[in-house]
């Protein structure tokens, strides 16, 4: 016998059914239960089952994850119940958990231990994912529900984080094209799919050509000046590549290569530099056609969405808000930066001339002779530091030690969890009260299957709504030493280690309700702020003395050498600022043009050269940190029209460092304030609002200018 269901109860049952559909596990879908991606890992905090996941598991898991999320979204969009925050926005936050799990693991593995199978799937899956996301954000019925809620925000009585989530959903959908005509949406979908495929190919080409362009050296004598441990590492690398008895210098993703500061052989320096800058300009891994097509598509997409350029579209959603402030910042710093670089070049040329070098300073000479200038001015060179900068001490007695002092958290290495590569290390992170806060993965070494650079990634993102705690990883590209030898680091590598752990802290301390705001889900020109602040502890005396110990004797670095390191902080800043600004200005030049202005592939390098001349940073001895063909940030990562972010965030960073120094430095109360005001908040509020509330004031540019030695100089200086 059937009983009539009261309307209110019926609506409640429909809503409940929707939520059940949204939270349905992969086991109910088409993915076989023996696929380890089918369900959340049973390991602590959902740590991935790297020991069980195989290449062939990803394709069916992606298919199941996308199908599941589309079913979940359709149930929300077609819910007969009037839209509410719970049955629309929260329900959306619960969708796609299988797909997120699959994509997080796949993206990390393709970046760290890729192979031909994963590369092929990456090229296939990225356009499909673009189409999948468009199917959600261009769903008219779904957007109608979001738009209706957004229109009555003031009546919903939402808490601040929930209100911001609703605002963000509305803005995300509008920026994705939800209000466009059907014809424009169709073109947008095609563009997004093509862009996704091009970006995947661009990134793979860089990794492949960097491996192919590694420099083979025939004799040990040619490596004169290179430290013994680096010579041994080069010999081991050559042996791995089937060239025993020779030496192999692998390339990092940047234009300049670390060995350039040590190699005495000028011909080898030139060969190494030219191998670096000629990458991806020709042959099988040529990225010039990809750049031309990618920039044109991005410009067309921006126009469809109602923006003048791709940069206008991108920067609108950052803390900068518009390209005008970005252009002013870059232009204002370019003049003093290049002036400083020219003064530094004059000093270097003087050294070359005193030694009767008989040549004019070239880019491959800068690092080598800058070290000589450093030795003369500060009476030390980089090689003196390296015996005191051993990786394990830097990580545990430096990075972790500072975090314990500042935040009260502790670390314990564990060997029981599976890793995707034998050199990877895993640490539990415990809060000050002893509770399990997170898991941290440290993947420090370069290898041919790993992309260049250094980065932080989330393997599991924190969310109170989903009951998740974070699993985050730092990934560097330190040259792996020969078996049994210590990993001795350059000063730049030490700074990078502290920097990337600043990103990790942003993920570890995340304490938000909604997945959309977890960890580093903040504007690109804000995400670098916490990481750059964390660099300050590398030179903080208490931290420095704790980790800067000789790898053989344990002797603390002599105070006199530490003083020289500190005195040299502004050294070579003209070079460093100019190479960074040059890359940032090239990024903006590519993305501040319209589709009809994009050059053909043959004109790509000429376009870059013209952009450098126009900006006044075309100083030959100081090339851009990245040339366009291997500029991952601009054409593969999510930093297109956003490479300026490091400098923009450094304004906040330098201002905050001054605050720390004036507030007692490495103290728990200061760490707790940064954690409470910034690190735990993720993207749960407008970024600059968080900063002003934390800092109690607007940021000042003065500390950045002081740090980089860019204070006003006398007229005519450097001419």
- Tell me the pLDDT tens digit for each residue of 155-191: 999 999 999 999 999 999 999 999 999 999 999 999 9
In three-state secondary structure terms, 716 is coil
Residue-level pLDDT at 361: 98
440 DSSP 8-state letter: E
Q: In the beta sheet, which residues pair with residue 474?
A: 442, 456
- The answer on pLDDT for 5 being more than 80 is no
Question: Mean pLDDT across the stretch 88-99?
Answer: 98
Give the pLDDT band (50/70/90) at residue 559: confident
The arrangement of strands across the sheet holding 471-478 comes to 410-414, 425-430, 436-445, 471-478, 455-460
More confident residue, 657 or 559: 657
pLDDT 10s digits, 437-470: 999 999 999 999 999 889 999 999 999 999 999 9
Three-state secondary structure call for residue 521: coil
Contact 534, 499 (CB under 8 A): yes
Mean pLDDT of 332-344: 94
Instruction: Assess contact for 164 and 686: CB atoms under 8 A.
Output: yes
Q: Which residues carry out catalysis?
A: 500
Count of helices and strands (H, E) across the chain? 28, 7
The single residue listed with the structure tokens 């990580």 is 395
Selection from 669, 654, 672, 665 nearest residue 710 by Cα: 654
More confident residue, 703 or 713: 703
Of 465, 435, 572, nearest to 44 (Cα)? 435
Name the CA radius of gyration of the chain, rounded.
26
Fold of 386-570: 1.10.1370
262-292: burial string, b at 16+ Cβ within 10 Å, e else: bbebeebbbbbbebbbebbbeeebebbebbb
Burial class (CB in 10 A: 0-12, 13-18, 19+), 578: buried
**Nearest Cα to Cα of residue 347 among 317, 369, 375:** 369
Contact 593, 299 (CB under 8 A): yes
Strand partners, 248: 216
The token pair at 635 is 């054409």
Name every residue whose Cβ is closer than 8 Å to that of residue 582 and which is 6 or more positions away in sequence. Answer: 612, 615, 617, 622, 623, 624, 625
Q: Cα–Cα distance between 374 and 487 in angstroms, integer?
A: 24
User: Is the pLDDT at 688 greater than 80, yes or no?
Assistant: yes
Question: What is the pairing mode between strands 455-460 and 436-445?
Answer: unpaired
How does strand 471-478 pair with strand 455-460? antiparallel
Say which CATH architecture domain 288-379+572-707 belongs to.
Orthogonal Bundle (1.10)
Whole-number pLDDT of residue 567: 83
Average pLDDT on 583-596 reads 98
List every span in the chain annotated with CATH 1.10.1370.10: 288-379+572-707
Burial of 109 (0-12, 13-18, 19+ CB in 10 A): buried
Structure tokens at 24: 């349905």
pLDDT band at 77 (very low <50, low <70, confident <90, very high): very high
C-alpha to C-alpha distance for 516 and 513, rounded to whole angstroms: 9
* Segments of the chain assigned to CATH 1.10.1370.40: 7-179, 386-570
The domain made up of 7-179 has a fold known as: 1.10.1370
Q: Is the pLDDT of residue 383 over 60?
A: yes
Angle between helices 645-662 and 323-354 (to 10 degrees): 80
Q: Could you tell me the pLDDT band of residue 622, with boundaries at 50, 70 and 90?
A: very high
Q: Please report, for residues 215, 217, 233, 274, 490, the alpha-carbon distance to residue 222 in angstroms, rounded to integers and kept in the order given.
A: 12, 7, 15, 17, 21
Q: Which residues pair with 445 in a beta bridge?
A: 478
Residue 16 has pLDDT above 60, yes or no: no
**Contact in structure between 522 and 685 (CB atoms under 8 Å):** no
Structural contact between residues 394 and 654, judged by C-beta atoms closer than 8 angstroms: no
pLDDT digits (tens, 9 = 90+) for 648-671: 999 999 999 999 999 999 999 999
CA distance linking residue 48 with residue 290, whole number of Å: 34
Q: How many CB atoms lie within 10 A of CB 343?
A: 15
Helices (H), 278-362: 288-304, 310-316, 323-354
User: What is the pLDDT at residue 25?
Assistant: 40
pLDDT score at 702: 87
Residue 346: how many other CB atoms lie within 10 Å: 11
504 and 395 in contact (C-beta within 8 Å)? no
User: How many whole angstroms separate alpha carbon 64 and alpha carbon 53?
Assistant: 16
């Amino acid at each position: 016998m059937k009983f009539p269901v009261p309307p209110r109860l019926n609506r409640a049952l429909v809503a409940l059914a929707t939520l059940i559909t949204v939270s349905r596990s992969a086991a109910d879908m088409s993915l076989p239960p023996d696929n380890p991606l089918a369900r959340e890992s049973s390991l602590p905090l959902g740590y991935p089952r790297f020991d069980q996941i195989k290449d062939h598991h990803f394709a069916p898991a992606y298919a199941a994850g996308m199908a599941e999320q589309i079913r979940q979204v359709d149930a929300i969009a077609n819910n007969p119940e009037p839209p509410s925050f719970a049955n629309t926005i929260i329900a959306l936050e619960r969708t796609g958990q299988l797909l997120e799990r699959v994509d997080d693991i796949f993206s990390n593995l393709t970046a760290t231990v890729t192979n031909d199978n994963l590369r092929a799937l990456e090229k296939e899956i990225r356009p499909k994912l673009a189409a999948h996301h468009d199917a959600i954000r261009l769903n008219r019925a779904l957007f109608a529900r979001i738009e209706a809620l957004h229109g009555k925000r003031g009546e919903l009585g939402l808490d601040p984080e929930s209100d911001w989530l609703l605002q963000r959903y509305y803005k995300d959908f509008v920026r994705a094209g939800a209000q466009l005509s059907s014809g424009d949406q169709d073109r947008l979908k095609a563009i997004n799919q093509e862009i996704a495929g091009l970006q995947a190919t661009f990134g793979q080409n860089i990794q492949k050509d960097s491996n192919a362009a590694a420099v083979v050296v025939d004799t040990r004598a040619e490596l004169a000046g290179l430290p013994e441990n680096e010579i041994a590492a080069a010999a081991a690398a050559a042996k791995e590549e089937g060239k025993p008895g020779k030496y192999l210098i692998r390339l990092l993703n940047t234009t300049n290569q670390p060995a350039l500061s040590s190699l005495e052989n000028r011909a080898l320096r030139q060969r190494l530099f030219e191998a670096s800058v000629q990458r991806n300009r020709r042959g099988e891994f040529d990225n010039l056609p990809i750049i031309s097509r990618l920039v044109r598509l991005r410009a067309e997409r921006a126009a469809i969405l109602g923006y003048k350029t791709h940069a206008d579209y991108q920067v609108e959603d950052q803390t900068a808000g518009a390209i005008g402030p970005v252009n002013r910042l870059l232009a204002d710093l370019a003049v003093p930066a290049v002036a400083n670089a020219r003064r530094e070049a004059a000093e270097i040329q003087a050294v070359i001339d005193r030694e009767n070098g008989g040549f004019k300073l070239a880019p491959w000479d800068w690092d080598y002779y800058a070290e000589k200038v450093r030795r003369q001015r500060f009476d030390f060179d980089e090689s003196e530091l390296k015996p005191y900068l051993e990786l394990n001490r830097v990580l545990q007695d430096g990075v972790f030690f500072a975090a314990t002092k500042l935040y009260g958290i502790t670390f314990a290495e564990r060997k029981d969890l599976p890793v995707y590569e034998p050199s990877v290390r895993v640490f539990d992170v415990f809060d000050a009260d002893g509770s399990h806060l997170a898991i941290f993965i440290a993947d420090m070494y370069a290898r041919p299957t790993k992309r260049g650079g250094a980065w932080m990634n989330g393997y599991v993102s924190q969310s109170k709504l989903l009951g998740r705690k974070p699993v985050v990883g730092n990934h560097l590209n330190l040259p792996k030493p020969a078996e049994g030898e210590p990993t001795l680091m350059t000063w730049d590598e030490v700074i990078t280690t502290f920097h990337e752990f600043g990103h990790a802290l942003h993920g570890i301390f995340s304490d938000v309700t909604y997945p959309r705001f977890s960890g580093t889900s903040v504007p690109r020109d804000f995400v670098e702020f916490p990481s750059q602040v964390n660099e300050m502890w590398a030179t903080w005396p208490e931290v420095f003395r704790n980790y800067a110990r000789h790898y053989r004797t344990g002797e603390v670095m002599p105070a006199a050498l530490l003083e020289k390191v500190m005195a040299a902080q502004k050294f070579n800043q003209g070079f460093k600022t100019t190479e960074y600004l040059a890359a940032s200005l090239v990024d903006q030049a590519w993305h501040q043009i319209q589709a009809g202005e994009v050059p053909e592939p043959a004109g790509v390098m000429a376009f870059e050269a013209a952009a450098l001349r126009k900006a006044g940073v075309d100083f030959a001895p100081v090339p851009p940190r990245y040339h366009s063909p291997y500029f991952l940030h601009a054409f593969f990562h999510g930093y297109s029209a956003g490479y300026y972010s490091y400098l923009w965030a450094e304004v906040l960073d330098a201002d905050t460092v001054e605050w720390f120094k004036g507030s007692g430095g490495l103290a728990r109360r200061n760490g707790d304030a940064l954690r409470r005001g910034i690190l735990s908040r993720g993207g749960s509020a407008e970024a600059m609002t968080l900063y002003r509330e934390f800092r109690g004031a607007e940021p000042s540019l003065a500390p950045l200018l002081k740090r980089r030695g860019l204070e006003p100089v006398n007229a005519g200086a450097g001419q």
